[in-house]
Structure 1
C-alpha cells in the first residue's frame, strides 16, 4: 500500500539546492555579457574607423596592419577572459543544474516513501546536509572527503564555500581586498538588495589608515572611496573623519568603538550574511533546520517534566532537549497518548489499563508483557503499586 508523503515540505528544504547553481550561472553570464559588450564595442569602433579611413584613402598599409593586429589581440584577450570565467566557475554550471533538477524530479515521481528508491534518495539528502554542515563549520577537508566518498560532488556547493572561507580568512587577517573584489563582482546585486557591505569595508580601510596615522593617505582614500556614499551614510562618514584627530589611545566613546578590532569580526559576519543572501542560502545549516522541524512536531511541556519523560522521545533526551528549547511547542488538534512503559501509541487496539489504587494508566500490551514475566503480577513503575493483571481497570478516554 502506498504511503503518502509531504512533497511540498520536501521541496521547501530543497530551494537552495536548485538556486545556488542557477545564481552562479547568472553571475557568470552577466560578467561574460559585460566583457563581450565592452570588447566587441571597441572592436566595432576600431573596424569602422579603419573602414572609413580606407574609403577616404588616408590609411597607410602599415597602419592598417597594426590596427588589424590590435583588433586580433583584443579578440584573443576576450576569448581568454571568457575561458577564465568558465574555469573559475568550477564544475560546469549547466551540468550541475541538470543533475540537481533530475534528482528533485526523481523524488516527485515516487509514489511512496516506503521503498528502496526513496530510502536511497533520503540517504543522499542526509549526505548532502552533513556536507553542508561540515562546510559551514569550517571542516572543508572532511566535507570534500565525504562528498567524494558518496559521489555527490555536484550535489554540494564546495566551490562556493571554498570562496567564502578564502575571503573570511583574509578578513580575519585584517585585509579587505578579497572582500572588496567580491563586492565589485556583485555590485549590481548588492545595490538591488541595498546591502551596505561595500561601504563597511571601505570605512574599515579608512579606519586602518587612521590607526596607522597615515593621515594624508586617509584623506585621499576618503575623497576617492567614501564621498560617493555621502547621500546614504553621511553621519558615519562624518564620525569617522574625526579619527584623523584621535589616535587609538586617545579616542573615546564612539571613536573608540570605531577603532575596536571587534569590527573585523562583525565584517566577517556581514560578509557571510551577504553572500548567503545573494546565493539564496539559509543562515542555518539545513541539518539544523530539519532537526528543528522534527523537534517542533514532537515537543510537549511533558518533555521537560522529569516525572513524565518518555525514553523513546527525542525531545526528552537531555542533549536533544537543549536544542529543542529553541523551537515552539507542538500544536496537536487531536492528542495522541503514548505509553510510558513501551513508548507505543495507545489506541483502540492497545487500550489503556489503570492500577486500582493510584490510577496510573499504561498500555494493555506493555502490562500483558509484564504480567507474563511475573506470574500475572504487574507493578507501577512510579508508585510501586503491585496487583494482579485481572485487577486492572480499563480506561475510556474521551
Structure 2
C-alpha cells in the first residue's frame, strides 16, 4: 500500500529547526543595525560641526584631525560589520540554507514509496532524537549521535549548550548569567510580555534578605524592583516584608518565598522564555510525533481483554500502549476493518466473511483455517464451529 506524504504536516514539525537559525540571524541583523546607527550618527554630528566652522578662521590642522577621526570611525565600523558577518552572520546563513535544502528534498516526493524517502525520514528521526536528548540533559548522547550522523548543521547544539550553562548557574543559585541573557534579549522579552527578569531580580532580593544583609537589600529593592511597581506592586510589597521575617519562619507565604524550590521554578520560567523566543514547543518533537501517531491508531478495542493486534503499538500495553493512555482516541472519517485472527486489513482483495452469529473475520484467515481443519472454521469469540460453506460474504459500503 502506498501512503501519500502529508507535506503540510511535515512542514509543521520541521518549523522549529528553521526558526532557530532565522531568529539568530535576526539578532545579528539588529545588532549590526544599532551599531551602524550609533556610529554613523556620531559621524554625522562631527560633519555638521565641521560645516558650522568651515568659514571660521580656525586652524586647519584641527579640521584635518576631525576629518581623520571621522574616517577612522567609518573604517572601524566597516571592520566591525565585516567581523560580525564573518563570525555570526555568514555561519548562521549557511546553517539556514542547509536546513532549507534538507527540507526541500521532501517537496519532490509524493509517496513513501519514493526511494529517497527512507534516508530522509532516518535523518528526520535522528534530529528528533538529538532534540529529545538535548532537552532532557543527555548532552553526550546528543553530541555522539550528531557526530556519527553528521547533523551539525541540522540541530541546535549551541542553543542548548547556552541553555544548560545558564540553568546550571541558576541551580547553583546564581542569577548573573540569566540576567545577562535577559539584557541581550530585552526587547524580545518585552514583546512577549515575559516577567523572567522580574522573577530573577526578586530572587536576588530574597537571597539578600536570607543573608540578613538589610542595607544592601533595601538599596537593591530601590534600584531593581521599584521600576516594576506599576505591574508587580503586590509581589514587591510581600517580598519587602522579608526584611522583618527570619528565613526559619513557619508562616506559609514567607516560607514559600524562602523555599529553595523557587530556584527550580525560575529554571522552568527561563527555559519557557527561551522556547517562546525561538518558537520551540515545550515538548520534545519526538514526543509530539509519538503522540500524533498513537492518537491516529488508538481505539477503544485496543484495551479490551483478549484483543491484541501484533502490528498495533497501542495494543502493546507494556510499551507504547502505556504512553497511548495519555492521548485521545482516533477519529476516522472512513473506518478500517481489521481481522482479529490475522490482524490484516479487510478490503476488496481480502473481504470479510460473517458467521451466522454475526461475528466477522477475513476470508484469507478463514480459508487458511478451513484447509487445516477439514473445511471447518471456528469463531474465536463465541466458539461456534461450522463448515466454511456456511459463511456469508459481507460487502463494505
| TM-score, normalised by the number of residues in structure 1 | 0.89
CA shift at 1:352, angstroms?
2.4
Counterpart position of 2:169: 170
1:55-103 CA-partner distances (Å, limit 9, x unpaired)? 756569699769957984896598469736864x498011111111122
Q: CA deviation at 1:144?
A: 1.7
Counterpart-to-counterpart distance in 1, 2:72 and 2:276: 40
Distance in 1 between the 2:305 and 2:45 partners? 81
Superposed CA RMSD in Å reads 2.9
Aligned residue pairs total: 396
Q: Which residue of 1 aligns with 2:8?
A: 8
Q: Which residue of 1 aligns with 2:226?
A: 227
Conserved 8 A contact 2:196-2:269: yes
> How far 1:251 moved relative to its partner?
5.4
Question: Which SS does the other structure have where 1:328 is aligned?
Answer: coil
Distance 2:74 2:165 in 1: 32
Distance 1:339 1:255 in 2: 63
1:354–1:362: 8 Å Cα contact kept in structure 2? Answer: yes
Encode CA deviations 1:310-340: one digit per residue, 9 max, x unaligned: 2221111112122112221111233221001
Measured after TM superposition, the shift of residue 394 of structure 1 is 3.7
Give 1:128's aligned residue: 127
**Greater mean deviation of Cα atoms: 268-277 or 33-42:** 33-42
Q: Does 1:264 align with 2:263?
A: yes
CA contact (8 A) 1:128 1:155 kept: yes
* Structure 1: runs of 5+ lacking an equivalent: none
2:202 is aligned to 203
- Which residue in the other structure is 1:341 paired with? 341
Contact kept in structure 1, 2:28 and 2:84, CA below 8 Å = no
Which of 89-98 and 362-371 deviates more? Answer: 89-98
Structure 1 residues 99 and 68: CA distance shift in structure 2, 3 A: same
Matches of 1:52 and 1:30 in 2, distance apart?
Answer: 33
On the 8 A contact 1:354/1:395 being kept in 2, the answer is yes
Q: For 2:74 and 2:335, how far apart are their aligned partners in 1?
A: 73
Distance 1:146 1:213, change over 3 A: same
Distance (Å, rounded) in 1 between the aligned partners of 2:275 and 2:90: 20
Instruction: Work out the CA distance in 2 between the residues paired with 1:372 and 1:91.
Output: 70
Find the residue that maps to 2:116 and give its secondary structure. helix
Q: Does the 8 Å contact 2:340/2:361 carry over to 1? A: yes
Say which is worse superposed, 217-226 or 146-155, in terms of deviation: 146-155
**Corresponding residue for residue 29 of structure 1:** 29
Q: Aligned partners of 1:131 and 1:378: how far apart in 2?
A: 51
2:310 alignment partner in structure 1: 311
Distance 1:185 1:81, change over 3 A: farther
